[in-house]
Amino acid sequence: MRSIQHALPASPVTVAAGSLLAAPDEARQPLSLPQSAFLAQAMGALFNGGLYLFGGAPASGKSLLSMQIGLDLAEQGYRSLYILTEQTPAAMKVRAMQMLSRLSPARRSEAMDRIEVEQNVRDVTSLPMYAAREILSPAGRRHGVSLVVLDSIQGDGLSSAATKAYGKVLEFGRICAESGIVTILVSHITKRGEIAGPKALEHGVDVTVVLRRAMLYTLLAVRKNRFGPPLLRPIPLTIDARTLRMALAPHAHAQPGAARTYCPSSGAMQVQASVAVPADGRPGRMTAPGLPRHEIEQLLSCIGQIDGLDMSDLDYRIQCRLPRGGQYLTYFGLPMCMSLIASYCRRPLPSTNLYLGEIDLFRNVLDVSPDVLSGLRRAVDSSELALPLTLFVPPSAKRQIAGSGRVQVLACGTLEEAIRQTWPERPDEKRAD
């Protein structure tokens, strides 16, 4: 006989006054920023009612980033208010036009019409009163905005020792945030890289974002985050020269490339390489154990002369197990270039490809010695090399190695020809960022 257990009704929980369970729930909703996806990776999300502090030196991108956020929200129908103490509305308009250049004129006008500008707040100590009168009051001119940006706190020459004035700035930010408005305070940083002003400023916000320039990139770090974990290892960003929009650098995370080559004494070999942005802002450096540094620097210079393949100021890691005797062979130049380009463009090289050839200063693929070609022919004929196989060799070598149904021989007079025949479309046209 099956026993039936009757569920007893749950006893009501008695909540003690003043307990954590009695605390009100915090209703924060994340806002979508489809044109600034890297922010979700950096700080989790942008929450309504969040109080954010953006710090950075001049030209670090802090104003660009705050404007990009406002324009992204404007495209979705949200109104934003920018309280300007440094830049002029005319300069901001020029930048906004560039950032929205991908939109039609009508949609661009709609988005820019949702960006409101205030430049008559000369004394930051009046900000709390301004918020009560113009933002919170239903009769206020700025009532209903979803984002408020103060750019910047120190625009009127505010001294770091002006504790009371900074207190008013923080009070203003809290008033807006407690009303469900996303609030961004833009601040300078000191020569030591600290947020300008008293420590209470950083303690009083929810999220602290610090930006700094490093070579060709802007490094973004999140020192404090009440909505998620901090991001202490900065992520590299690029600023598009045409639109001024910030985006995650395409080489923020290394994706190795591998190119096959051949040596008579060792058989099939592989050259591996990875290209990435230095995470800490230092100049790029090379790690290539056992390989000739000057030879690789020359190859990198050759690659950098090709349009769309600017490989300056990056980290390079190259691995190549040298053949018996431990000697680097000059005809490893072509496979090394191809592995570097594959990592840079994030395009894999087919495992059936095999590259042979030295690269000179004009990016020509130079002849390979007859001994190497004879060994390669024997390896193909004896099935030492797995088929099918596509050989990328200098033009002279194609006449010495006959193709077959499962062996294709492609002549490459230049490095550009090797790239074009490997990827019929330009490899940097479909880069996986």
Taking only the tens place, the pLDDT of each residue in 257-277 is: 999 999 988 889 999 999 988
Nearest to 287 by CA among 304, 272, 265: 272
Whether pLDDT at 92 is above 80: yes
- pLDDT number for residue 383: 85
152 preceded by a cis bond (ω within 30 of 0):
yes
- 375-402, pLDDT tens digit by residue? 998 998 888 898 899 999 999 888 888 7
In the chain, what are the domain boundaries? 28-248, 257-422
CATH class of this structure's domain 257-422: alpha beta
- pLDDT number for residue 175: 97
Whether pLDDT at 428 is above 80: no
- 341-372, pLDDT tens digit by residue? 999 888 899 999 999 999 999 999 999 999 99
Give residue 6's pLDDT band: very low, low, confident or very high (50, 70, 90). low
CA dist 172 and 127 (Å) reads: 6
- The amino acid present at 147, given as its one-letter code, is L
Whether pLDDT at 127 is above 90: yes
DSSP helix/strand/coil, 145: coil
- pLDDT number for residue 256: 94
Do 198 and 166 contact (CB within 8 A), yes or no? yes
Give residue 323's pLDDT band: very low, low, confident or very high (50, 70, 90). confident
Whether pLDDT at 432 is above 50: no
Whether pLDDT at 2 is above 50: no
Architecture per CATH, 28-248: 3-Layer(aba) Sandwich (3.40)
- pLDDT number for residue 1: 42
- pLDDT number for residue 7: 54
> Worst-scoring range by mean pLDDT, 5-9, 337-341, 354-358?
5-9
Give residue 8's pLDDT band: very low, low, confident or very high (50, 70, 90). low
DSSP helix/strand/coil, 212: strand
- pLDDT number for residue 136: 97
Give residue 190's pLDDT band: very low, low, confident or very high (50, 70, 90). confident
Q: Average pLDDT for residues 409-414, to the nearest whole number?
A: 95
Residue 74 main-chain phi, psi, to 5 deg: -65, -35
Give residue 433's pLDDT band: very low, low, confident or very high (50, 70, 90). very low
Q: Average pLDDT for residues 286-298, to the nearest whole number?
A: 93
Q: Which long-range contacts (CB under 8 A, 24 or more apart) does 73-77 make?
A: 73/31, 73/33, 73/114, 73/146, 73/147, 74/110, 74/111, 74/112, 74/114, 74/115, 75/35, 75/100, 75/103, 75/107, 75/111, 76/32, 77/114
Give residue 47's pLDDT band: very low, low, confident or very high (50, 70, 90). very high
CA dist 398 and 417 (Å) reads: 14
- pLDDT number for residue 346: 86
Q: Average pLDDT for residues 182-203, to the nearest whole number?
A: 91
Whether pLDDT at 431 is above 50: no
Percent share of the chain, pLDDT over 70: 93
Question: 29, exposed or middle or buried, with CB in 10 Å at 0-12, 13-18, 19+?
Answer: exposed
Q: Average pLDDT for residues 162-188, to the nearest whole number?
A: 95
Q: Average pLDDT for residues 57-72, to the nearest whole number?
A: 94
Percent share of the chain, pLDDT over 90: 63
- pLDDT number for residue 217: 81
**Between 337 and 57, where is the model more confident?**
337
What is the 8-class DSSP label of residue 361?
T
- pLDDT number for residue 376: 92
Q: Give me the residues paired with residue 315 across strands.
A: 276
Question: Which helix H or strand E contains 165, and what residues bound it?
Answer: helix 163-178
